[in-house]
Amino acid sequence: MIYTKEKFKELWDSPYGGGITFDDIADCAKDWGLYNTPKVALIYTVANKVLIAAGCDKYFEEELIAK
């Protein structure tokens, strides 16, 4: 589902992330112009960019994931 940045932040900041899925994150990344093909990129990198764009704190530690 595609959310506005405001709605995304509201849901993300709610208990259990408001039910946001990785598919939702990919949809928002594409709709918000962050990626053309988000599903072929590392999901943790995509998720962090979406979170930052929505005004949330970065969640995933990419440095640990890449090792």
Q: What is the pLDDT of residue 16?
A: 85
Q: What is the pLDDT of residue 63?
A: 66
Q: Looking at the 3D structure of the chain, how many domains does it have?
A: 1
Once rounded to an integer, what is the mean pLDDT over residues 37-51?
95
Return the residue matching tokens 């704190």. 57
Q: What percent of the chain has pLDDT over 90?
A: 81
Provide the domain limits for residue 23. Answer: 5-65
Tell me the CA end-to-end span of the chain in Å, nearest whole number.
Answer: 31
Measured distance CA(65)–CA(67) in Å, rounded? 6
Q: What is the pLDDT of residue 5?
A: 98
**Long-range contacts of 55-63, Cβ-Cβ distance < 8 Å, separation of 24 or more:** 55/5, 55/9, 56/8, 56/9, 56/12, 56/13
DSSP code at position 40: G
